[in-house]
Amino acid sequence: MADAWEKVHIHKGRSSSGFLDANRIMEGLSIKIGDTFLDVGCGDGYFSLAASPYVGLDMGRVYALDVDEDAINSLKKAIKEKDIPNIDTIIADASDKIPLFDESVDITFMSNILHGFVANGQADRVMEEVTRVTRHGGRLVVIEFKKQESPMGPPLSIRLSPGDLGRLMGKYSFRRILVGDVGPYSYLAMFQREGACSPEDEMCWLDRYSTVMNR
């Protein structure tokens, strides 16, 4: 039974709210007012809601995408209750098509979702879409469970190490900027799609992340 479950890994609609600090993570990403932020596999919108003020309520945009209609409906309810003007919800399967224009996203974000696509043989299709919608010089931020035993998370056999991520991202011209812990069980890896980026920008990203995560 376990082997069969691993072959079709279910990864839709889940939330990281119990073990990751979304506001702290968003603060550490050097998000700019006016940025467009795509949350792939957003679940109930835990990170999308946190990203909303960082991109600017009147200037930036957050796209919250998930295949799980119930999760999206839950997020829609939260958006309405909090009167948030800059989050657009999208019901879609990222392994099929992300319904956004080419190079329309500044930061693509994936929390505890990529390992499922890899396990299901969908990673290349997802990365083709992520690459298409992320602008040149834009960033891809991935959070995954550490490849070690822990009281929560997917089976150890399908977890992704930073090296696993690096090899996958290298196929799509994403260059690793940093890797760091974001909790006892998880790590964050930041990549940049090849394109214009000044050394000052990269140093800003590194310094900001280090400052926020180490305080």
CATH number, domain containing residue 208: 3.40.50.150
Asked if the structure places residue 70 within a domain, the reply is: yes
Cα of first residue to Cα of last residue in the chain, in angstroms, is: 44
Asked if the structure places residue 15 within a domain, the reply is: no
Asked if the structure places residue 150 within a domain, the reply is: yes
Which residues, including other chains, have CB under 8 Å from residue 88's CB and lie 6 or more apart? Answer: 61, 62, 63, 64
Asked if the structure places residue 57 within a domain, the reply is: yes
pLDDT score, position 195: 77
Asked if the structure places residue 13 within a domain, the reply is: no
Which residues, including other chains, have CB under 8 Å from residue 43's CB and lie 6 or more apart? Answer: 12, 13, 14, 15, 16, 66, 68, 71
Asked if the structure places residue 194 within a domain, the reply is: yes
Number of separate domains in the chain: 1
- In a structure prediction context, what are the per-residue pLDDT tens digits for the chain, which is 215 residues long? 334 334 555 555 456 777 899 999 999 999 999 999 999 999 999 999 999 999 999 999 999 999 999 999 999 999 999 999 999 999 999 999 999 999 999 999 999 999 999 999 999 999 999 999 999 999 999 999 999 999 999 999 999 999 999 999 999 999 999 999 999 999 999 999 997 666 667 778 888 888 888 87
**Cα–Cα distance measured from residue 101 to residue 209, given in angstroms and rounded to the nearest whole number:** 29
3-state secondary structure of 130: helix
* Model pTM above 0.75: yes
pLDDT score, position 2: 36
3-state secondary structure of 66: strand
pLDDT score, position 16: 76
Asked if the structure places residue 9 within a domain, the reply is: no
pLDDT score, position 23: 97
Asked if the structure places residue 88 within a domain, the reply is: yes
- Structural domain boundaries enclosing 90: 20-214
CB 188 within 8 A of CB 179: yes
